[in-house]
């Protein structure tokens, strides 16, 4: 019997790479999406595919390949993992930054779902797993583009889950906390580039906050939960007969999501102000 086929976007590093390895080791045939194909041979049951999630042509090519390789069973699961994290003060952040963030974290997800649904219907009952974040439920300052895109993804997934329920294509959200992945280093580089574009007034006004924000990115990027923990949660969403809508991934994520659920907004706000990077320049 041929293994169930799974497509993972953003599989070159971090959570996507961990998911590809973990699922392949557990018997799935993984189509792993890369913006640049790896030079080294892939592990058994992993088929690298060229996939820029913002490219309609790439989606067309990948789905055509899967249709050819999986003519009988189609696709069991689509895991939308690819994403970027952009930040900065809303007061000065160019609109293009928001558009870029949503293009990758939101609109590309819709594009992928629409491209893969014919294959998922063939493999029904199927799964769509969207990689959200704790920041899809809790907003932190200076990460408004990222948080907004994840809030939008949460709403999209809620609607999609209900729409596809009659066909047993179950949709789930994974909400990780701080994970040891390259996204934090990439975010720091993008933030440094943004500062070069800001007017002197912005650099002066937010000087303390910017310094704290960059230190936070440096610190949390090396101290988070292992991405393999997220991969285990993804596998649970694939293997459960009727998966839940939401899965927290990591102890910090589960604790934060519980606090968000139990505490009133005024206390959440006080906590964010106390522990966040918001500091008025002297």
Instruction: Count the neighbouring beta carbons within 10 Å of the beta carbon of residue 213.
Output: 25
Q: Residue 175's closest CA among 233, 226, 216, 100?
A: 233
Place of tokens 């490219």: 55
Q: How far apart are the C-alpha atoms of 60 and 121, rounded to whole Å?
A: 17
Coil, strand, or helix at residue 130? strand
**Helix and strand counts by DSSP (H, E) for the chain:** 11, 7
Coil, strand, or helix at residue 52? coil
Q: How do 126-131 and 169-176 pair as beta strands?
A: parallel
* Catalytic-role residue among 22, 146, 206, 247: 146
Q: How far apart are the C-alpha atoms of 211 and 140, rounded to whole Å?
A: 16
The token pair at 131 is: 């990689």
Cβ neighbours of residue 270 under 8 Å, at least 6 residues apart?
none
Residue 80 pairs with which residues in a beta bridge? Answer: 130
Q: How far apart are the C-alpha atoms of 248 and 199, rounded to whole Å?
A: 39
238: left (phi over 0), alpha (psi -120 to 50) or beta: alpha
Q: How far apart are the C-alpha atoms of 140 and 58, rounded to whole Å?
A: 33
Examine the residue annotation and report whether 146 is marked as an active-site residue of this protein. Answer: yes
Residues with active-site annotation: 146
């Amino acid at each position: 019997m041929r293994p169930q086929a799974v497509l993972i976007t953003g599989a070159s590093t971090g959570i996507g790479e961990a998911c590809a390895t973990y699922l392949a080791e557990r018997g799935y045939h993984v189509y792993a999406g890369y913006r640049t194909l790896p030079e080294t041979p892939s592990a058994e049951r992993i088929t690298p595919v060229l996939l820029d999630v913002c490219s309609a042509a790439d989606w067309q090519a990948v789905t055509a390949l899967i249709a050819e390789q999986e003519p009988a069973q189609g696709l069991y699961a689509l895991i939308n993992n690819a994403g970027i994290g952009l930040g900065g003060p809303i007061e000065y952040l160019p609109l293009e930054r928001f558009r870029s963030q949503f293009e990758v974290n939101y609109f590309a997800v819709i594009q992928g779902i629409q491209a893969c649904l014919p294959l998922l219907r063939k493999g029904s009952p199927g799964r769509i797993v969207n990689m959200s974040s704790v920041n899809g439920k809790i907003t932190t300052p200076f990460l408004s583009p990222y948080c907004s895109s994840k809030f939008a993804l949460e709403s999209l997934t809620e609607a999609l889950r209900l729409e596809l329920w009659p066909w047993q294509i179950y949709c789930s959200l994974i909400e990780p906390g701080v994970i040891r992945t390259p996204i934090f280093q990439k975010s720091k580089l993008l933030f440094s580039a943004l500062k070069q574009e800001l007017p002197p007034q912005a650099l002066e006004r937010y000087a303390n906050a910017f310094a704290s924000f960059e230190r936070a990115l440096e610190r949390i990027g090396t101290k988070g939960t292992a991405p393999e923990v997220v991969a285990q949660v993804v596998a649970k969403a694939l293997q459960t007969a009727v998966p839940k809508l939401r899965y927290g991934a990591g102890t910090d994520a589960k604790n934060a999501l519980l606090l968000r659920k139990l505490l009133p907004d005024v206390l959440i706000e006080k906590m964010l102000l106390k522990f966040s990077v918001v500091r008025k320049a002297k």
